[in-house]
Structure 1
Amino acid sequence: MSKDQAPGLGAAYALQTPEDSVRLYADWADSYDSDFVATSDYILHIQVARMFAQQGGDGPVLDIGAGTGILAEALAQSKISPIDATDISQEMLDVAEAKNIYRTLFTGDLTQRLPVEDGTYSGIVSSGTFTHGHVGPDALDDVMRITKPGGLLCLSINAEHYEAQGFAAKIESLMPQISDLQLPQLPIYGPNSTSDHKDDLAVIATFRKA
């Protein structure tokens, strides 16, 4: 491990179950922004926020896998609101709530049905949630359910797992239900990162619900 690599990063890449996520992020919540975001020059949330804004995204937005709220901070710079948050970790949401960015925060397991009515949100965003060991492609069905017709989704998917874990096939199966699909690959980390994963890429799947 590089000397500057965040202590929880290896564990995050090794997650296998929702229970693993709950344990890791309960321990990591208070130091996540300093231990990971700053130390690793993590920029994926900025990439997602920029893409969402460029494609005309607006609120209400649900930030899924919101963590400590770094994606909402980036969205707020583009005057996008209101933003709600869901995450499997209450401890991460507690940190996010203290930033006073979100309208509503609630715990949710994306491998299960979210406690949200159909067609609630005009926008869905996610940074760092759809990857191996976190949330798989089947969760996109429920994400689509809670999106309004015409709503914009902007979801980062680890490029290494995009095809291997079935995300490409899942999005292909959704084609009759979506429009304006874009799949750029963008860096997860900035130029100052010395992490072992510093060259990793994410597919930013951006599309509208038909």
Structure 2
Amino acid sequence: MDDPDLDAAYALKTPDDNRALYANWADSYDSSFADEADYRLPQIVAFVLADVMRGSGPVLDVGAGTGLVAQNIPDRDALEIDALDISPEMLAQSAKKGLYRAYIEADLTKPVDIPDEIYGAVVSAGTFTHGHVGPEAIDTLLRIAKPGAVFVLSINSEHFSAHGFEAKFAAIESEIAQLDFRILDIYGPSGPPEHQNDKAHIAVFRKRPV
């Protein structure tokens, strides 16, 4: 496995690749990547969620990692937030911050043992990207969301069409409502020069009530 860095993350192909990389990266992820790369996406996603959310949740943070989304949600202390991630080491780092109600180790490319219709919001930053999780996982997230639940999901723009996300949203049109895409920068101005033009589609929608 390559040394943990952005290029190694973008080269991931399988769930086992993810586990191996983030096991090695968890201890230094916030400082060696999030801070150094001026990684703005988690904060952006957190602010969008706060802007569109109605109700108190609970919230599922998908691909929660070290908790970068949760720590940026305004008034997060008023919310019950659960963390889901494939990496136990990353979840252990987020647990040190005391941000979540529960910590769920799960691989979204496989069936997930979570009951139907229990979350009032689903949020994710950086999970639907290079070699991580494909559009089929959206079916699982819809299953575990309450009718009317709000979704704020970031999707790497480079792969939005090529990896089937555009087609997926068209296919689930009858299951969701108020779909809106916001295209925003992933990194701030002090981030890596070779990734200054990297953007994310922020998909904002609700699970359609029955």
TM-score normalized with structure 1 length: 0.94
Letter in 1 for 2:13: Q
> Does the CA-based 8 Å contact 1:7-1:35 persist in structure 2?
no
Moved >3 Å (runs of 4+): 76-80
1:64-85, CA deviations, whole angstroms, 9 ceiling, x for partnerless residues? 1000001010115455511000
Q: Compute the displacement of 1:194 (Å).
A: 2.9
Q: Compute the displacement of 1:102 (Å).
A: 0.2
Q: Compute the displacement of 1:8 (Å).
A: 1.1
Other-structure match for 1:141 = 139
Other-structure match for 2:43 = 46
Compared CA separation, residues 77 and 33, structure 1 to 2 (3 A): farther
1:20-55, CA deviations, whole angstroms, 9 ceiling, x for partnerless residues? 000000000000000000000001001111111111
Aligned identity (percent) is 49
> Does the CA-based 8 Å contact 1:185-1:202 persist in structure 2?
yes
Alignment of 1:188 onto 2:186? yes
> Does the CA-based 8 Å contact 1:53-1:78 persist in structure 2?
no
For residues 67 and 198 of structure 1, the distance between their equivalents in structure 2, rounded to whole angstroms, comes to 23
Structure 1, unaligned stretches of length 5 or more?
1-5
What is the aligned counterpart of 2:63 among 62, 65, 68?
65
> Does the CA-based 8 Å contact 2:63-2:86 persist in structure 1?
yes
Structure 2, unaligned stretches of length 5 or more?
none
Partner SS state of residue 82, structure 2: strand
TM-score normalized with structure 2 length: 0.94
- What is the aligned-residue RMSD (CA, Å)? 1.4
Q: Compute the displacement of 1:132 (Å).
A: 2.7
Q: Compute the displacement of 1:175 (Å).
A: 0.6
Q: Compute the displacement of 1:56 (Å).
A: 2.3
For residues 113 and 80 of structure 1, the distance between their equivalents in structure 2, rounded to whole angstroms, comes to 30
Letter in 2 for 1:166: G
> Does the CA-based 8 Å contact 1:14-1:133 persist in structure 2?
yes
Partner SS state of residue 98, structure 1: helix
Alignment of 1:200 onto 2:209? no
Other-structure match for 2:158 = 160
Question: Aligned residues, how many?
Answer: 205
Alignment of 1:11 onto 2:11? no
Alignment of 1:124 onto 2:122? yes
